[in-house]
Amino acid sequence: MKREYWALVHNSLDFESTVTNLEDSGVAGLEVSQAYGPPFVQLAAAAMLTKRIQLASGIAMGLTRSPFETAMAAIDLDRLSRGRFTLGLGTGPEHFTSGYFNMPYDKPVSRLREIVQILRHVEDGARTGTMKPWEGDMYQMEFKGYEPTLPPFRERIPVWIAALRGRLCEVAGEVADGLLGHPVWSVEWALGQAQESLAIGAARSGRDPATLQFQPWVSVSVDRDRRAAIDAAKPGVAYYAGLAQYFPFFEAHGFASEARKMQELLKDTNLLEAAKSLPDEMARTFAACGTPDDVLEWIEPLWQRANSIMILPSNWGVAPELHEARSALVKETFWPR
């Protein structure tokens, strides 16, 4: 089976060379995430700079803007890329949605489900030239005075849902075309609970879950020094362990006390210092860390189900000279050429 690796492009100082080098390296796809601003501007630039590589929002926070705006942005990007775009959606952190963007976070799972349904509604309307009102449980929209636009490039733009726990995996199975795994999913979770929940959602729509795309996101810390690689993986895991909303996930893996300790430490300790207390076992459970061979061994079982894998280098607090060396190791380990 062909191994397709994807790369995340984020805060690049030289966006043009980063994107074109990824395409030249044979990487299957690139994704642009939303931290603050929406990912669509950079994706439009990437569409103009490339010809082959697949493009996706990884992820766009679905609750921070009108579903109609998200749908029209997806249609525009699919046209600009000539059918290479996938819309990756997630709920995003509550404090981002309600605090930074001042948007409601009530019933986020139901909202995200309906946003995907609205995308399909808007696609149909853009194709026929008649945009009918939408009367949903979470959103109500009227389109008075709607003027027909260019029709969508494809009949359906793929939508992948990003999930941490079971409910959003079910939504992916029910209404989306694929599932994006979380950066701290363990291999056992990705192949176990995530697939079970995906199948439950797919059954609601009478679909075969095996037909849905699955892209695990893997936090990777690779170094020829195994000790250095494990230590470099710890801040990323510690960050999520310190978030109260992630506690049930870590508890389900048997790391309840460690997650509670991290929540307490991060109240008055910086992340890099707090991460030093994270057990090696916890780092190795939620991140692929070690030598190139160690990392490939950690990832290998995921190919039982994965259609592609997103590689996320762990670079929290890494000095610039080490960052460059580790980036070269990532390319050597994963990129086709």
Residue 254 lies in a domain: no
Q: How many residues does the chain have?
A: 337
Residue 167 lies in a domain: yes
Residue 332 lies in a domain: no
Q: What is the pLDDT of residues 188-214, one digit of tens each?
A: 999 999 999 999 999 999 999 999 999
| Residue 1: per-residue pLDDT | 63
Q: What percent of the chain has pLDDT over 90?
A: 88
| Residue 46: per-residue pLDDT | 97
| Residue 95: per-residue pLDDT | 85
pLDDT-based confidence at residue 315 (cuts at 50, 70, 90):
confident
Residue 276 lies in a domain: no
Mean predicted confidence (pLDDT) in 10-15: 79
Instruction: Return mean pLDDT, the chain.
Output: 94
Residue 232 lies in a domain: no
Q: How many domains does the chain have?
A: 1
Q: What is the pLDDT of residues 125-146, one digit of tens each?
A: 999 999 999 999 999 999 999 9
| Residue 127: per-residue pLDDT | 95
Residue 106 lies in a domain: yes
pLDDT-based confidence at residue 322 (cuts at 50, 70, 90):
confident
| Residue 39: per-residue pLDDT | 96
- CA 59 from centroid of its chain's CA atoms: 5
Residue 247 lies in a domain: no
**Residue 164 φ then ψ, to 5°:** -110, -60
Task: Name residue 29's beta-bridge partners.
Answer: 6, 54
| Residue 337: per-residue pLDDT | 65
Q: What is the pLDDT of residues 282-314, one digit of tens each?
A: 999 999 999 999 999 999 999 999 999 999 998
pLDDT at position 28 over 80: yes
With H, G, I as helix, E, B as strand and everything else as coil, classify residue 298.
helix
Q: In the chain, where does DSSP find H-type helix? A: 15-24, 40-49, 67-80, 94, 108-128, 166-175, 187-191, 193-204, 226-241, 247-252, 256-265, 271-275, 280-286, 292-299, 320-334
Q: How far apart are CA 319 and CA 325, in angstroms?
A: 10
> Which CATH number does the domain housing residue 98 bear?
3.20.20.30
Q: Which domain holds residue 46?
A: 5-224+293-327
Q: What is the pLDDT of residues 155-178, one digit of tens each?
A: 999 999 999 999 999 999 999 999
Q: How far apart are CA 50 and CA 222, in angstroms?
A: 28
How far is residue 35 from each of residues 38, 51, 74, 191, measured CA to CA in Å?
A: 8, 26, 18, 28
Lowest mean pLDDT of 1-5, 52-56, 232-236, 269-273, name the range. 1-5
pLDDT at position 108 over 80: yes
Instruction: Decide which of 313 and 321 is more confident.
Output: 313
Residue 269 lies in a domain: no
Q: How far apart are CA 178 and CA 278, in angstroms?
A: 32
| Residue 13: per-residue pLDDT | 76
How far is residue 195 from each of residues 14, 112, 297, measured CA to CA in Å?
A: 38, 19, 21
Mean predicted confidence (pLDDT) in 269-277: 95
pLDDT at position 324 over 80: no
| Residue 154: per-residue pLDDT | 95
Q: How far apart are CA 191 and CA 253, in angstroms?
A: 14
| Residue 93: per-residue pLDDT | 85
